Chains A and B, each alone.
Chain A
Amino acid sequence: MRDLLVLLALARGRAGWMALGAGFALTATATGIALLGLAGGLVAGAGAGIAVGAIAWLRALALGRTAARYLERLTTHEATFRVLADLRLWFFERAIPLAPARLGGWRGGDLMARLVSDIDALDGLYLRLVTPTAVALLTVVGLAAVLGSLSPAIAVPVVALLALAGLGVPALTERAGRGVGGVQVAAAARLRVAAVDLVQGMADLAANQALDRQAAVIAEAEAGHEAALHRQAAISAAGTAATQLVSQLALVAVVLGWAALASGAGGTPLVAVAVLVTLAAFEAVAPLPLAWQLLGRTKAAARRIREVAEAAPAVCDPVRKGPPPASNALALEAVSFRYPGAERPALDGVDLAVPDGGRLGIAGPSGAGKSTLLALLLRFHDPDAGRVTLGGVDLRDLAVADLHARIGVLSQATSILAGSLRENLAIAAPEADEATLRAALDRAGLGTFLAALPDGLDTWLGEAGVAVSGGEARRIALARVLLKDAPILLLDEPTEGLDAETERAVLAALAPAMQGRTVVTISHRPAPLAAMDRVARLEAGRIVEATD
């Protein structure tokens, strides 16, 4: 619960909108109750020969109810939009210092996807959890007051039955469904693994004629998943039926209770009002089972989001900044680093140095520690032992942003953002004018690419836009690096995944950019390392040889 409250506290600034939304929701429910109650009174009064002058009131209530519903929709959505924008911005802000070490690493897309789906799960927090619960509580309290004024002895069982329908039954349903929920999540995960194996392992499965067997694996996983869904559906259907039945029992309770209390003393048209008012109040109780179901899911999502958002960053800016580095020489001095939970250190006593303007290549098989070395140079992590320096200054004495300002990174992990080409370049040089952007694209070998784009620099790239090939993405990343014009270049597998022709072109475009800069290139391919002054070979976290 604490997790939800913390997130709700974020919405304090939107309390006005939220209160307005809840107010309209309550008005809509209350006018609905009044309308049916009054209609009952009118008809029952007519039966007793009492002419109730209620027609004008009925019309007013009908119009009021319709207007309140419409306004409720508008205000609750307005409030939800605002709260969610706040939530997303809050999370994004929290995530900035955490990236990438605490967010699953640079290439950790899965964690991100889960986090976003967790944030999505909070969509319902206000619209389907907080508002309906508040409205239901206030409605039942109001109903108790109305019924109590008619007949206190009837109010008690009716409120008790409505509470059972709105809270008791959903709580029982939730408890019954908890075990199946776990089974369903596990079954869904199995099905997903089987589907991912099919899609990503297609080449191996096809060549080994194992497609039919994989189809059988998927069908089996699906059968398990469907069985779990079926049991969940059964529990939920039983819950719905029970809620419906219990709330309808309240209607019978009103009538029979009234008759029992009157004990033959004669009837009153007020019975009709009491029953119809109760009937109309169901509307407020009906969304509660759903709110209950959401509560569990929302709580879990809120907990995971808080866990991430409140994690300590892997690296912190120094309390007091040291002097700015005098040069752009980089050095690792006896650096060791082990990822949390890993068996072996990723780097084990590494000594390396690049003078200002020097070029160092780092070769080695995958898993040797090359990427970790890069992560330490960018201060995504701090070493466990030893130190990393820039111009003789320990990176821990530099603000992370100041360090990054000096380094241009070209990597296969570089993201192309969903947005226009201009926006993609602007992250490197927000102030750059059109001509500068075009020149950078030209130098990166994207002149013809740009010419072929339907809207030039304003063409939308990425998801739902113009698809960018691997080679083009790398060149866009290259254009960014050129625009950034930083004194240090870190090239992380700069040509991985490119064909030979593109590799040559990217390296040729890089060559002039390397002039006068400190360059560190990490690659297991020979071509990018050819232009380095010195190549160190890394194996199992240690430097095994260094050749000039």
Chain B
Amino acid sequence: MWGGTAVHQPAVGPGRAAQSRFDRVAAAGYRSLAMVETVTSGVAEPDDASSLSVQRAEQRRRQRWLAGRTRSARLPLGAAVVAGFATGLLAVAQAYLLAALIAGAIGGATFAELLPTGGLAVLVFAVRAGLGAVSEMLAVSAASRVKRAVRADLVAALGRLGPSWLKARRSGAVTATVMEQVEAMDGYVARYLPVQALAGAIPVALLVPAFLVDAGAGWILLAAGALVPLAMALVGMRTAVAARRQMAVLQRMSGVFLDRLQGLTTLKLFGAADRELERIREVADGYRASTMAVLRMAFLSSTVLELLAVGSLALVAGRVASAVIGGGLSLEWALFLLVLVPEAFQPLRRLGQHYHDRSAAIAAAEGMLEILDAAARLPADGEEFRLDGAPAIEFDGVSLEYPGGRRPALDGVDLRVAPGETVALVGESGAGKSSILAVLLGSERPTAGTVRGAGRPVDGPVLRASIAWAGQAPRIVAGTLADNLRLGRPDASDDAVRAAAEACRVTDFADRLPHGLATVVGEGGRGLSGGEARRVALARALLRDAPLVLLDEPTANLDRDSEAAVLDAIDRIRPGRTVLIATHSDEVIRRADRIVRIDGGRVVEAAEDTVLA
């Protein structure tokens, strides 16, 4: 929750616990049994004024973004607040009817005399409960609308950022952003925002009948209400410093338990598992103590609210009792005030209960904004164009450096490929072969030099419509085998799919499956081995039928039979297309028109003729 690992999946759905925010802090806390001493020594002091103000500015920016995102759901959210406010006002009617019933019974009214008032009270209870449910559902709809819009934006942003941005990140964390962090907005929109709007409005509205009935009671409630924000702020400020420090500790330690469990085999191999158990025990105790120290203070804010609520009840009871004795107030109205007091504090309590939804959403905004900001910073893409035939490819002094990278992935590459030529890019792993393909795909942008396809500059993913690509670790997406083959050409006919599957030997394993090409594969379906996935990727490329073909190690990890079959398939793709193959395979090299050797990001040898043919 506090920006840690995606270990704890928040319960999805409305059944989530209504917890105090500090329950949540605590929950996040004991998730993380870890090394308090080490941690606290390593954490930057949050008291540092400048870093604190940067943190605050960042916090404000996230809040603004969250507020902006909820604007699209103004209508259902507004309706939810109106319905919620109405239930608040009905508390007045409810309190009156209840008081009238009690006073009637005390006054000796019979069952029959009380029945109409009782029936009316039941009606008001029912309407109030129903309105509450309606308000809840409206807020849930609003949250749903916001989540869908944000998720769509994230998906679009990720698409623009592409594989090169993702490469530097843990895919689990990015997935968690799209899943859990978007889901964290649910509590914020569906619960926190309506409660926040009502926390001030309802108590103020209930002051009016209180003052009308008895000014003294009104003043007691007004004074208590005025003390709420003041007391909260006083306690809050003291807590905030401690909580922020604890938060930094939490951030580090969140997920450490998972980390140790996942590292259990490593620990075991070193005979260190039992030792680690002892350490976890020690630091769990230390961690509990330090968290409890924060909680002792943090719980004060809800305690102050509690004190004000029960204190005003006691004071109002004393006040109205003497007013009744003095004859200035009827029993009925005195009881009315007694029942009304707890109602006036109810919205404030709910605000306390749902405050953690706000913190969670602000924390979650960090991951979402990182993706959206990165996409917004991308330079504009060049104009997309479609190639009409096998293109010439030209690299002029192309360099590719990663920010923070030790050495450039490409270092002044000059390369010319004639239309229709098949070129084998050879060199050790990491030499830059895949980077050359990535630049043509537009998933990497050269830091220097120019790339041209058919004489036109390649600037970003402009060539994609004309490229068939098969990577080293192809992803099999959830769906049937046929769906996977159609990835690059969704309208391909069944016959074309079958032909591509046969040419790339996908049928070798597919025909053994119960449903052939209609077998469900990928996550949740049958898993494919590395070799099988490679064949699927090649079949995709064949089916895509594009004039420029880029293959990254198409035969690695294949046994000899499959390699021969795949090479035949590549030979079938070649006519009328420009083909670049990054490879180690002697057989691929033998069949290529030309070899280009890459080393350390540079072309070291570009033989005009096939060396081995």
Cα separation A437 to B265 with both chains bound (whole Å): 22
On chain B, the residues within 8 Å of A460 by CB distance are 38-39, 42, 252
On chain B, the residues within 8 Å of A109 by CB distance are 262
Determine the interface band of chain A, counting residues with CB < 8 A from chain B. 35 or more
On chain B, the residues within 8 Å of A80 by CB distance are 26, 30
Cα separation A80 to B31 with both chains bound (whole Å): 11
Contact of A514 with B by CB under 8 A: no
Contact of B205 with A by CB under 8 A: no
Whether A81 lies near B26 (C-beta < 8 A) is yes
Contact of A542 with B by CB under 8 A: no
Q: Which chain B residues in 122-156 approach chain A with CB under 8 Å?
A: 122, 125-126, 128-130, 132-133, 136-137, 140-141, 144, 147-148, 151-152, 155-156
- From A69, A233, A427, contact of B267 by CB (8 A): A427
Whether A219 lies near B144 (C-beta < 8 A) is no
Whether A463 lies near B270 (C-beta < 8 A) is no
Cα separation A315 to B4 with both chains bound (whole Å): 35
Whether B163 lies near A206 (C-beta < 8 A) is yes
On chain B, the residues within 8 Å of A55 by CB distance are 314, 318
On chain B, the residues within 8 Å of A43 by CB distance are 317, 320-321, 324, 331, 334-335, 338
Q: A230-B141, A464-B251 are in contact. Are A199 and B133 (CB under 8 A)?
A: no
Residue of A nearest to B112 (CB): A259
On chain B, the residues within 8 Å of A451 by CB distance are none
On chain A, the residues within 8 Å of B321 by CB distance are 42-43, 45-46, 52
Whether A35 lies near B314 (C-beta < 8 A) is yes
Whether B174 lies near A199 (C-beta < 8 A) is yes
Q: A127-B23, A240-B136 are in contact. Are A88 and B33 (CB under 8 A)?
A: yes
Contact of B474 with A by CB under 8 A: yes
Contact of B377 with A by CB under 8 A: no
On chain A, the residues within 8 Å of B367 by CB distance are none
Q: A202-B158, A252-B101 are in contact. Are A46 and B334 (CB under 8 A)?
A: yes
0/1 string, B518-537, CB within 8 A of A gives 1 = 00001110000111000001
Whether A89 lies near B277 (C-beta < 8 A) is yes
- From B102, B174, B288, contact of A275 by CB (8 A): B102
Whether A233 lies near B477 (C-beta < 8 A) is no
On chain B, the residues within 8 Å of A223 by CB distance are 148
- From A199, A209, A258, A423, contact of B465 by CB (8 A): A209
On chain A, the residues within 8 Å of B587 by CB distance are none
Stretch at the interface among B13-21, B411-419, B566-574: B13-21
Q: Which chain A residues in 193-232 approach chain B with CB under 8 Å?
A: 193-215, 218-219, 222-223, 225-226, 229-230, 232
Whether A222 lies near B264 (C-beta < 8 A) is no
Whether B38 lies near A268 (C-beta < 8 A) is no
Whether B14 lies near A229 (C-beta < 8 A) is yes
0/1 string, B265-283, CB within 8 A of A gives 1 = 1111111111111001100
Whether A62 lies near B307 (C-beta < 8 A) is yes
Q: A44-B102, A112-B261 are in contact. Are A500 and B430 (CB under 8 A)?
A: yes
Cα separation A430 to B447 with both chains bound (whole Å): 46
- From B27, B111, B254, B277, contact of A263 by CB (8 A): B111
Stretch at the interface among B63-71, B296-304, B393-401, B493-501: B296-304
Stretch at the interface among B48-56, B113-121, B355-363: B113-121
Contact of B231 with A by CB under 8 A: no
- From A367, A459, A465, contact of B529 by CB (8 A): A367
Cα separation A251 to B111 with both chains bound (whole Å): 14
On chain A, the residues within 8 Å of B19 by CB distance are 128
A46, A78, A230, A268 pick with most chain B CB within 10 angstroms: A46
- From B190, B274, B307, contact of A96 by CB (8 A): B274
Minimum CB–CB distance for A435 against chain B, Å? 20
- From B31, B128, B136, contact of A233 by CB (8 A): B136
On chain B, the residues within 8 Å of A203 by CB distance are 163, 443, 471, 475
Minimum CB–CB distance for A9 against chain B, Å? 19
Whether A92 lies near B101 (C-beta < 8 A) is no
Q: A62-B311, A77-B295, A236-B15 are in contact. Are A85 and B265 (CB under 8 A)?
A: no
Minimum CB–CB distance for B44 against chain A, Å? 10
Cα separation A84 to B151 with both chains bound (whole Å): 34
Cα separation A275 to B478 with both chains bound (whole Å): 60
Is the contact region of chain A dominated by helix, strand, or loop, or is it mixed?
A: helix
Minimum CB–CB distance for B261 against chain A, Å? 5
Contact of A499 with B by CB under 8 A: yes
0/1 string, B293-334, CB within 8 A of A gives 1 = 001100110110011001101101110111011000001001
0/1 string, B169-186, CB within 8 A of A gives 1 = 001001100110000001
B179, B267, B270, B300 pick with most chain A CB within 10 angstroms: B270
Whether B266 lies near A415 (C-beta < 8 A) is yes
Stretch at the interface among A325-333, A346-354, A405-413, A515-523: A405-413
Whether B12 lies near A188 (C-beta < 8 A) is yes
- From B271, B475, B490, contact of A201 by CB (8 A): B475
Whether B443 lies near A65 (C-beta < 8 A) is no
Stretch at the interface among A137-145, A241-249, A388-396: A241-249
Q: A39-B313, A65-B306, A367-B530 are in contact. Are A82 and B471 (CB under 8 A)?
A: no
Whether A103 lies near B264 (C-beta < 8 A) is yes
On chain B, the residues within 8 Å of A194 by CB distance are 478
Cα separation A197 to B523 with both chains bound (whole Å): 8
- From A191, A297, A366, A418, contact of B256 by CB (8 A): A418
Contact of B257 with A by CB under 8 A: yes
Cα separation A420 to B38 with both chains bound (whole Å): 8
- From B171, B179, B268, B558, contact of A365 by CB (8 A): B558
Whether A196 lies near B175 (C-beta < 8 A) is yes
Contact of A371 with B by CB under 8 A: no
Q: Which chain A residues in 11-27 approach chain B with CB under 8 Å?
A: none
Contact of A512 with B by CB under 8 A: no
On chain B, the residues within 8 Å of A404 by CB distance are 268-271
- From B133, B171, B429, contact of A200 by CB (8 A): B171
Whether A366 lies near B557 (C-beta < 8 A) is yes
Cα separation A233 to B60 with both chains bound (whole Å): 31
Contact of A73 with B by CB under 8 A: yes
Minimum CB–CB distance for B140 against chain A, Å? 4
Cα separation A227 to B277 with both chains bound (whole Å): 44
On chain B, the residues within 8 Å of A207 by CB distance are 441, 443, 464, 467, 469, 471, 488, 550
Whether B175 lies near A419 (C-beta < 8 A) is no
Minimum CB–CB distance for B518 against chain A, Å? 18
- From A89, A120, A233, contact of B7 by CB (8 A): A120
Whether B324 lies near A524 (C-beta < 8 A) is no
Cα separation A245 to B325 with both chains bound (whole Å): 34
Whether A77 lies near B292 (C-beta < 8 A) is yes
Cα separation A80 to B159 with both chains bound (whole Å): 44
Q: A81-B30, A464-B254 are in contact. Are A70 and B178 (CB under 8 A)?
A: no
- From B11, B314, B464, contact of A61 by CB (8 A): B314
Q: A66-B303, A103-B264, A262-B108 are in contact. Are A501 and B30 (CB under 8 A)?
A: no
Whether B530 lies near A85 (C-beta < 8 A) is no
Q: A39-B314, A209-B465, A290-B18 are in contact. Are A418 and B30 (CB under 8 A)?
A: no
Minimum CB–CB distance for B384 against chain A, Å? 10
On chain A, the residues within 8 Å of B306 by CB distance are 65-66, 69-70
0/1 string, A35-76, CB within 8 A of B gives 1 = 110111011111111011001001101110110011001100
Minimum CB–CB distance for B55 against chain A, Å? 15
Q: A124-B17, A192-B179, A417-B260 are in contact. Are A92 and B271 (CB under 8 A)?
A: no
0/1 string, B366-403, CB within 8 A of A gives 1 = 00000000000000000000000000000000000000
18 pairs, CB–CB < 8 Å, chain A vs chain B? A43-B320, A55-B318, A92-B261, A116-B31, A204-B475, A206-B162, A207-B467, A209-B465, A210-B490, A226-B144, A233-B190, A267-B109, A268-B106, A366-B529, A420-B35, A427-B266, A484-B270, A500-B430
Not counting A46-B322, A81-B288, a sample of 7 additional A-B residue pairs whose C-beta atoms are within 8 angstroms of each other reads: A36-B338, A74-B296, A208-B488, A240-B129, A290-B18, A427-B267, A430-B275
Closest 10 CB pairs of A and B: A499-B430, A201-B475, A415-B263, A47-B331, A208-B488, A39-B317, A500-B428, A241-B129, A207-B469, A427-B272
